[in-house]
């Protein structure tokens, strides 16, 4: 855990100092290396970024002065981008930041297979800060990340390269695309365990009774406290356009501020009553009363039997894995590709998935396992110690690379223009 936690250390937390002797004053190694639009860039900022760039291919072969110059240029460009925040009236809600920090910390604990309490002790012992201080650092980091993303979204938008552009990108840069190491090619079929109609109707009736109470004047906060089964302690949430459940978002967008849905909305989490708290160009702020539906044992057993039967049909070659995945799997990420996740480096595969597929031989199908409310089977399609990306097997990956490259080119052009609009003073 020590190595991973230390890698999360964000920035420099104090001035660098050295004592030449007990009788001399400390020599401060901190200094201002640049000023951009009134914002200073410290030497410690530069050194921290320099450390992160050392993993970039060929970076360490550059002269030290060139390394410093390239990294400083990158930091200056980031500051120039952030100078657009006030000009473009871009904001980030505190609730959104808090949710992202919560998700990051929970994910970190899950990846390390440890409890939140143990993670907090490790942060205190290894980073020398409390969980509150660590959260504050994460808030700062995520705020800049979100702001940069929104500036890019506003001025660059979504770029969808044509097939010709993807092929031209691959032809020009295939020798520069890093190889993959220790990789697996695997597929999945996912069937969710859903409650039967009797359970669904029963919970919906409770939701309708709550809406009736709202109409009769019972305060929202009272009903949310007494009935909502939302895991979050804060019932209000900021939702970016297109980032949440489509049914939830559509229902919320039809409301006026302060209104709630006059009918409960069925989402993947359960029957939901939604109240609109605020609306902006890039998203909405809502509060919800969530009533979850717990499937019965019979519901779960029915899905398990169905997936067992499907696995048997595939193994007897009565149907193909990819055909079954396309027609039946509810995994949105893979079903349109016949269930395939594509080639992935083992270290980047979700731990729960990796545990299952790593135990399989090529061509073998796993037994059904319950993961996040769904039964899944996996098939290991192939494995390789070293491989290069190619258009036939990795088109969607290369397509994303091409889109990112084209997006960066457009953004670089804009940054070049914006540099002339802000004050930049390089002192290094």
The reported pLDDT for the residue numbered 94 is 82
* Lowest-pLDDT choice from 29-33, 36-40, 394-398: 29-33
Q: What is the pLDDT of residues 293-309, one digit of tens each?
A: 989 999 999 999 999 99
* Lowest-pLDDT choice from 18-32, 161-175, 371-385: 18-32
Give the DSSP H/E element, type plus range, for residue 313.
Answer: helix 297-315
Using the CB atoms, write b or e for 299-320: b if 16+ within 10 Å: bbebbbeebeebbeebeeeeee
Give the position of tokens 């192939």: 382
* Lowest-pLDDT choice from 123-137, 145-159, 230-244: 230-244
Share of the chain above pLDDT 90, in %: 48
Return the CA Rg of the chain.
26
* Tokens at 132, concatenated: 């509150």
Mean pLDDT computed over every residue of the chain = 86
Q: Which residue has better confidence, 285 or 400? A: 400
Question: Residue 16 — pLDDT band, cuts 50, 70, 90?
Answer: very low
Long-range pairs of 51-58 with CB within 8 A, sequence gap ≥ 24: 57/178
Residue 15 has pLDDT above 50, yes or no: no
Q: Which residue has better confidence, 105 or 190? A: 190
Q: What is the pLDDT of residues 394-427, one digit of tens each?
A: 999 999 999 999 999 999 999 999 999 888 989 8
The Cα–Cα gap between 249 and 227 comes to 22
Residue 131 has pLDDT above 70, yes or no: yes
3-state helix, strand, coil in the chain (%, to 5): 50, 20, 30
Give the DSSP H/E element, type plus range, for residue 274.
Answer: strand 270-280
Domains of the chain with CATH codes: 181-194+296-387 (3.10.50.40), 197-291 (3.10.50)
Q: Which residue has better confidence, 175 or 112? A: 175
The Cα–Cα gap between 325 and 191 comes to 10
For range 139-156, the mean pLDDT: 89
The Cα–Cα gap between 351 and 330 comes to 20
Question: Residue 13 — pLDDT band, cuts 50, 70, 90?
Answer: very low
**8 A C-beta contact, residue 224 and residue 289:** yes
Residue 18 has pLDDT above 90, yes or no: no
For range 22-51, the mean pLDDT: 75
Give this prediction's pTM: 0.68
Q: Is 289 exposed, middle or buried (CB count within 10 Å of its CB: 0-12, 13-18, 19+)?
A: buried
Residue 124 has pLDDT above 70, yes or no: yes
For range 260-278, the mean pLDDT: 91
Strand pairing partners for 273? 289
The reported pLDDT for the residue numbered 104 is 87
């Amino acid at each position: 855990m020590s190595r991973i936690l230390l890698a999360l250390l964000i920035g420099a937390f104090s001035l660098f100092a050295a004592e030449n002797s007990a009788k001399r004053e400390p020599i401060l190694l901190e200094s201002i290396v640049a000023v951009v639009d009134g914002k200073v860039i410290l030497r410690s900022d530069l050194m921290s970024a320099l450390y992160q760039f050392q993993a970039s291919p060929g970076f360490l072969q550059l002269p030290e002065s060139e390394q410093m110059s390239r990294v400083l240029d990158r930091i200056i460009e980031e500051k120039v981008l952030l100078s657009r925040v006030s000009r473009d009236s871009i904001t980030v809600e505190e609730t959104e930041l808090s949710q992202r920090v919560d998700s990051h910390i929970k994910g970190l604990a899950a990846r390390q297979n440890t409890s939140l309490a143990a993670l907090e002790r490790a942060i205190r012992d290894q980073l020398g800060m409390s969980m509150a201080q660590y959260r504050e650092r994460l808030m700062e980091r995520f705020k800049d990340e979100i702001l940069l993303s929104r500036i890019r979204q506003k001025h660059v938008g979504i770029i969808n390269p044509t097939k010709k552009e993807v092929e031209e990108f691959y032809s020009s840069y295939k020798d520069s695309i890093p190889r993959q190491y220790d990789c697996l090619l695997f597929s999945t079929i996912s069937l969710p365990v859903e409650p039967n109609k009797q359970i669904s109707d029963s919970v919906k009736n409770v939701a309708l009774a709550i809406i009736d109470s709202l109409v009769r004047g019972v305060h929202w906060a009272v009903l949310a406290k007494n009935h909502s089964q939302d895991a979050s302690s804060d019932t209000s949430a900021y939702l970016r356009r297109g980032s949440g459940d489509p049914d939830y978002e559509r229902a919320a967008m039809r409301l006026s501020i302060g209104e709630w849905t006059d009918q409960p909305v069925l989402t993947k989490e359960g029957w939901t009553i939604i109240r609109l708290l605020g609306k902006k160009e890039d998203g909405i702020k809502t509060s919800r009363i969530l009533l979850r539906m717990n499937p019965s044992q019979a519901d779960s057993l029915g899905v398990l039997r169905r997936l067992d039967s499907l696995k048997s049909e595939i193994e007897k070659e009565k149907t193909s894995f990819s055909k079954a995945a396309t027609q039946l799997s509810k995994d949105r990420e893979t079903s349109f590709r016949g269930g395939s996740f594509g080639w992935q480096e083992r270290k980047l595969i979700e731990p729960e998935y990796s545990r299952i597929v790593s135990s399989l031989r090529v061509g073998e199908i796993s037994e059904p396992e319950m993961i996040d409310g769904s039964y899944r089977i996996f098939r290991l399609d192939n494995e390789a110690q070293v491989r290069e990306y190619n258009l036939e097997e990795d088109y969607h990956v290369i397509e994303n690379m091409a889109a990112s490259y084209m997006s960066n080119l457009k953004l670089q052009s804009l940054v070049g223009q914006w540099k002339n609009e802000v004050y930049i003073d390089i002192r290094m």
